[in-house]
Amino acid sequence: MLMLFKSPKPIDSREAFSDAKMGNENVESQQQIKICGTQPAMFVKAEGVSNANGGKSKPLEIQMVVTTAGGNSYFAMYIYPQQATPNAQAVASLRELCPKPQ
């Protein structure tokens, strides 16, 4: 599952997990990256479970990019089952989260 969110205020990765109805996330790594040429962003890799499945939680892998531009936060999140091979196009699309110039 690939999700894209926009927040009218700056948020961090913990708030992004909450907005996406994720729980028990365990952040494995975080690193500052550049997307769309020069836009600073944070790449986060984590494990978690979905709280949106009517109580049927399954372990998930999460890759997310968060960036702030023009007072808004944008994040793209790719979620897939643990032990599954991630889709290369979905992973690449995370780094194409380009905020429109104001």
Q: Domain residue spans in the chain?
A: 2-94
C-alpha to C-alpha distance for 35 and 60, rounded to whole angstroms: 25
Q: Is 71 left (phi over 0), alpha (psi -120 to 50) or beta?
A: left
Q: Are 20 and 7 in contact (CB under 8 A)?
A: no
pTM: 0.79
Which helix (H) or strand (E) segment holds residue 25: the answer is strand 22-35
Q: Are 73 and 19 in contact (CB under 8 A)?
A: no
Residue 86 has a pLDDT of 93
Query: Which residue has 């894209």 as its token pair?
Result: 4
Paired residues of 35 in beta bridges:
39
Please provide the CATH number assigned to the domain covering 2-94. Answer: 3.40.1000.10
Q: What is the pLDDT along the chain (102 residues), one digit of tens a residue?
A: 888 888 888 877 666 665 555 556 788 899 999 998 889 999 999 988 766 656 567 788 999 999 988 888 888 999 999 889 999 999 999 988 786 665
Residue 4 has a pLDDT of 86
Residue 1 has a pLDDT of 86
Residue 44 has a pLDDT of 92
Residue 48 has a pLDDT of 82
C-alpha to C-alpha distance for 88 and 25, rounded to whole angstroms: 22
